[in-house]
Amino acid sequence: MWGCRNRGNQVLVVIGMFCGIAWADTCPDWSPERLRLEIKALDSQLGRWDEAYFRQGSGLIDDEIYDGLLQQLQDWQRCAGEHHPEGHNSKLPMGKLQHPVAQTGLRKLADRLAVEQWIQGRRDLWVQPKVDGVAVTLVYRQGILVSAISRGNGQQGENWLAKVKAIPAVPNALQGAPANLVLQGELFLMMNDHQQQAQGGLNARSKVAGMLMRKPLSAELKRLGLFVWAWPDGPATMAERLQQLAAMGFEISQQYSRPVKTLAEVEQWRATWYRAPLPFVTDGIVIHQGLVPQGRYWQAKPGDWAVAWKYPPAQQVARVTDVEFAIGRTGKIAVVLRLVPVRMDDKWIRRVNVGSLALWQRWDIVPGDQIAISLMGHGIPHMNRVVWRAQERVAPIVPRPENYHPLSCFTLQPGCRQQFLARLVWLSSANGLNIVGLNKAGWQTLIDHGLVDGLLGWLDLTPELLNRVPGLGERRSQALYRQFRLARQQPFDRWLIALGIPLSPKQSAALQSWSQVEQMTPEQWRDIAGIGVKKSQQIRSFLQNPAFLALISRLHEHNISGFGSVPGHAVITAPPQQPTAD
């Protein structure tokens, strides 16, 4: 029903909002030459998809992805100062048959607040599912179907009479119809108990278009239905129009139309139709005002007597602005993409986790690329795929993975800040020493003021040193110092885990002192449940690493329980650690 992917030369006026999906896009920080390059490339690709869509009836791309990329093109054209009043598809054949009444579009409302504002002061309001298909105008003379016109540009369209006559759901003759009858509606793919929330859009719009575009006529046309959503110059009220439509054989329009008065009622039907089994695919709801202007006043642009409130998209296009590399405490490198913020459901998405460095390298994503994202469980954004690659590709500087591993960055060395900070966060967490009130930001502050440059540097801090940190204050300094003193009293097994030795609480519980740990053989390690050959080797690597043993010596010097006797390692100085640059 007036889908975003009409692909006619209807002018789409969009300022930060498209098809009910919020964008916070700003003009990219590109040179004019690059902006023109990107516009030309994307415009050409959209043209190829349009060619397949209009001429062959082949949908080569998901409807919502096409909509998102078309929006991106229009944003870029706006940034470049380009004005295209004829719309994107003006070069494609839109047909020459004049619509007896122009097909209007629908203004898409972003959220419940916008809906509430729109319904205020209006009467005779009705809500319908926003059926996802292809728009058509039907003309009956003396009850006989004499014309069927594609939407085209809203003013002119193609002659679809032969195609529509092959659709059993569209009556060729009507009983009791006015002498001259013009109807506008949606040709849709008939479904059995389709649940929009669970099944999504299924690319239904493209499938319907494909059936209608094929030559010769496709036998699949019998799978199409018709939902009439407008009767220009019909009866004065919506109830009368629906009743007479049903009497003429268009019962489905009456069946799925409900009168509403309040926002709560609108929300109720929107939620119901989103979850309920329906005979068609939908992508939202349409709110109609019963009183509409005479048909001669309709124009090929959104009217003010009907609006759409779309469902959350199953996936959305987002532009990558930056590629960030997060190095964890064990040296694993994760990749996060910064995005131009997009709104999905009720949240703004500004970043998405790609996963490992190897996976990012396979995706080959750079700033400027467009990706499809969706929301997984608990509203966590997920990257589905790359849908458009920037023409000018500037690769980010990538950390060298060989520099980062479980035994790197126990101190603040060049290139070590991320992993070192991650080690500190783990050490103070509930999994480690449980230093209450000290989070990542707190550690960053201590690092930035030169108070902590080693994993155990905080052991040397005094209330006086802490009080010098701007913004910390005497009270918070004293509280943090007390937490540091409490951390010293944590049992030996908690210290092992806090330092990063790959042991679970259950595995470390039997260990009482460093002397015991040092004297354990590989066989004794493997006797502990859950420790096999691989983990035993990992543990031994820690016990033999000079930088780690330097930490053990520090604990001995501070008389931490369990580290009082460190045979052969009373004085150990750690060598410089590996990473020197990212």
Which residue, 79, 105, 132, sits at the end of a domain?
79
**How sure is the predictor about 86, in pLDDT bands with cuts at 50, 70 and 90?**
low
| Contact between residue 196 and residue 280 where contact means Cβ atoms under 8 Å apart | no
Residues 130, 222, single domain; the answer is yes
The answer as to whether 476 is a domain residue is: no
Within 8 A by CB and 6+ apart from 457, the residues are 451
Residues 297, 326, single domain; the answer is no
The answer as to whether 564 is a domain residue is: no
Compute the half-sphere exposure of residue 440: CA atoms within 13 Å on the CB side of its CA. 10
Q: Which domain holds residue 520?
A: 408-459+486-557
Arithmetic mean of pLDDT, 114-122 = 96
Residues 393, 435, single domain; the answer is no
Residues 322, 298, single domain; the answer is no
Tell me how many domains the chain contains: 4
pLDDT (0 to 100) of residue 88? 56
The answer as to whether 167 is a domain residue is: yes
Residues 300, 363, single domain; the answer is no
In the predicted structure, residue 230 carries a pLDDT above the cut 60: yes
The answer as to whether 573 is a domain residue is: no
For 19-49, write each residue's pLDDT tens digit.
Answer: 434 444 579 999 999 999 999 999 999 999 9
The answer as to whether 234 is a domain residue is: yes
pLDDT (0 to 100) of residue 565? 56
CATH number, domain of 296, equals 3.30.470.30
Average pLDDT of the residues of the chain: 90
Residues 187, 287, single domain; the answer is yes
560 compared with 7, residue with greater pLDDT? 560
For 120-155, write each residue's pLDDT tens digit.
Answer: 999 999 999 999 999 999 999 999 999 999 999 999
Arithmetic mean of pLDDT, 154-178 = 96
pLDDT (0 to 100) of residue 82? 87
In the predicted structure, residue 498 carries a pLDDT above the cut 70: yes
**How sure is the predictor about 59, in pLDDT bands with cuts at 50, 70 and 90?**
confident
CATH number, domain of 52, equals 1.10.287
In the predicted structure, residue 5 carries a pLDDT above the cut 50: no
Q: What's the first-to-final CA gap in the chain, in angstroms?
A: 52
Residues 260, 349, single domain; the answer is no
Q: Give the chain's count of helices (H) and strands (E).
A: 20, 18
**How sure is the predictor about 62, in pLDDT bands with cuts at 50, 70 and 90?**
confident
The answer as to whether 85 is a domain residue is: no
| Contact between residue 148 and residue 138 where contact means Cβ atoms under 8 Å apart | yes
Which residue, 310, 341, 370, sits at the end of a domain?
310
Residues 184, 295, single domain; the answer is yes
pLDDT (0 to 100) of residue 577? 54
559 compared with 575, residue with greater pLDDT? 559
The length of the chain in residues reads 582
Which residue, 347, 371, 398, sits at the end of a domain?
398
Rounded to whole angstroms, how far apart are CA atoms 84 and 77?
8
Catalytic residue among 91, 96, 108, 130: 130
| Contact between residue 371 and residue 365 where contact means Cβ atoms under 8 Å apart | yes
Residues 173, 221, single domain; the answer is yes
In the predicted structure, residue 468 carries a pLDDT above the cut 50: yes
Arithmetic mean of pLDDT, 558-579 = 61
Arithmetic mean of pLDDT, 203-207 = 88
Please state the pTM of the whole predicted model: 0.77
Residues 512, 550, single domain; the answer is yes
The answer as to whether 257 is a domain residue is: yes
pLDDT (0 to 100) of residue 467? 94
Within 8 A by CB and 6+ apart from 283, the residues are 3, 130, 132, 196, 201, 310, 311
Arithmetic mean of pLDDT, 520-528 = 93
Q: Please tell me the least confidently modeled range out of 80-89, 179-188, 287-296, 497-506.
A: 80-89
* Residue whose tokens read 């190829």: 48
Q: Please tell me the least confidently modeled range out of 87-101, 168-182, 329-343, 449-463.
A: 87-101
Residues 202, 281, single domain; the answer is yes
CATH number, domain of 386, equals 2.40.50.140
DSSP string, 176-202: S--SEEEEEEEEEE--SSB-HHHH--T
Residues 303, 372, single domain; the answer is no
Arithmetic mean of pLDDT, 97-123 = 95
The answer as to whether 533 is a domain residue is: yes
130 is catalytic: yes
**How sure is the predictor about 56, in pLDDT bands with cuts at 50, 70 and 90?**
low
Arithmetic mean of pLDDT, 383-401 = 96
Q: Dihedrals φ, ψ of 502, to 5°?
A: -75, 75
In the predicted structure, residue 580 carries a pLDDT above the cut 60: no
For 314-369, write each residue's pLDDT tens digit.
Answer: 899 999 999 999 999 999 999 999 999 998 877 899 999 999 999 999 999 999 99
| Contact between residue 178 and residue 295 where contact means Cβ atoms under 8 Å apart | no
